[in-house]
């Protein structure tokens, strides 16, 4: 007797795990699955619109993860910002699994969107991403897993930060929270093993290549806003890469911004997201970048580029004046 193929196993698993969220919501299709939950496209029969429904992907007896999913919905509900997906509803299924309903985002991940897009447009998208993260920090929430696949660019160019499942809420901001909200490592490893996702719910929180060194060494409990600064810097580094694994001709100031944001020691990074975004805006506006010590030639080139129309006009005027004087001299 031959075994089932991987595709058949996945289909059976999706069929068994498929939630029955009726009578209000009709589950239509699986959109994605992570270490903690699965996200489905569903139809809201009451309001006659499609939504995204996230439900615990593991059995209902995994209490810590069930609490985390419910907590994620609470975190998102308090972050009312155009760059953060809005939560519409939350509850518990008949099988005991918690779920919440949010806006259905149509678009592409930032990692896919960046291909073929100019540096200027990418940096403006990056600034909108920074605005959303800075807003969360102002509300006492640290994302801790910022990466291109967790950022969506919508149909109309809106930038949305997704997947707040491992977010850290600063102590005192939630009743009963101590700031260390990670479930036991055993539960985390079961969640990660079930999905194959590199992001795990445990002492080590984040994604290799994008999480700050203090997270990678198990210091997630002590991670502060500078951990997200590191994640944003890693995203900026990724945005400046081109297809095929190469790199754009990145000018020194942008390289310096990335280097400071992703410094190994938190004290050497930008102190907050606003400082990082301010340096990016300076580069876009042709001003001196705080993270980069420019030479005389670089400064001259920067001033010329920023004031090129005026400089060219003055040069043209000088040429005309000299020509007239020479003509009269003749």
The answer, yes or no, to whether residue 172 has pLDDT greater than 60, is: no
Total-model pTM? 0.78
Q: Are 162 and 150 in contact (CB under 8 A)?
A: yes
* Topology adopted by domain 110-166+205-294: Transferase(Phosphotransferase); domain 1 (1.10.510)
**Tokens of residue 8, six digits:** 């058949």
Q: Which of 53-57, 160-164, 170-174, 324-328 has the lowest mean pLDDT?
A: 170-174
**145 part of the active site:** yes
CA distance 142 to 162: 13
Over the stretch 92-132, which tens digit does the pLDDT of each residue have?
887 778 899 999 988 999 988 988 888 899 999 999 999 99
At residue 187, the pLDDT reads 32
1-104 has CATH 3.30.830.10 classification = no
Q: Are strands 49-56 and 98-103 parallel, antiparallel or unpaired?
A: antiparallel
Over the stretch 151-167, which tens digit does the pLDDT of each residue have?
999 988 899 999 898 88
Three-state SS at 16: helix
Q: State the catalytic residue, choosing from 14, 89, 112, 145.
A: 145
Beta bridge partners of 8: none
Ranges of each domain in the chain: 1-104, 110-166+205-294, 301-329
């Amino acid at each position: 007797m031959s075994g089932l193929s991987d595709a058949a196993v996945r289909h059976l698993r999706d069929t068994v795990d498929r939630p029955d969220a009726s009578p209000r919501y009709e589950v239509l299709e699986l959109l994605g699955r992570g270490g903690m939950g699965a996200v489905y496209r569903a139809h809201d029969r009451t309001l006659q619109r499609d939504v995204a429904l996230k439900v615990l992907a593991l059995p209902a007896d995994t209490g810590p993860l069930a609490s985390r999913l419910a907590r994620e919905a609470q975190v998102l509900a308090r972050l009312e910002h155009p760059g953060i997906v809005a939560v519409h509803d939350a509850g518990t299924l008949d099988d005991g699994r918690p779920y919440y309903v949010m806006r259905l985002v149509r678009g592409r991940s930032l990692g896919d969107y960046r291909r073929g897009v100019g540096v200027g447009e990418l940096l403006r998208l990056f600034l909108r991403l920074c605005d959303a993260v800075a807003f969360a920090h102002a509300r006492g929430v640290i994302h801790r897993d910022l990466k291109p696949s967790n950022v969506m660019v919508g149909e109309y160019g809106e930038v949305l930060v997704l997947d707040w499942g491992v977010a850290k809420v600063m102590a005192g901001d939630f009743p009963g929270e101590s700031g260390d909200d990670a479930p036991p490592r055993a539960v985390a490893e079961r969640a990660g093993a079930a999905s194959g996702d590199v992001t795990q719910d445990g002492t080590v929180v984040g994604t290799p290549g994008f999480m700050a060194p203090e997270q990678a060494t198990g210091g997630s409990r002590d991670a502060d806003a500078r951990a997200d600064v590191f994640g944003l810097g890693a995203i900026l580094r990724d945005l400046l890469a081109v297809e095929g694994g190469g790199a754009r001709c990145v000018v020194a100031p942008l390289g310096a911004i990335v280097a400071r944001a992703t410094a190994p020691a938190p004290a050497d990074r930008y102190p907050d997201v606003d400082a990082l975004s301010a340096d990016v805006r300076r580069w876009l506006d042709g001003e001196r970048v705080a993270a980069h010590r420019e030479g005389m030639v670089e400064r001259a080139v920067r001033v010329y580029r920023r004031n090129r129309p005026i400089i060219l006009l003055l040069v043209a005027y000088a040429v005309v004046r000299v020509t007239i004087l020479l003509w009269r001299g003749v």
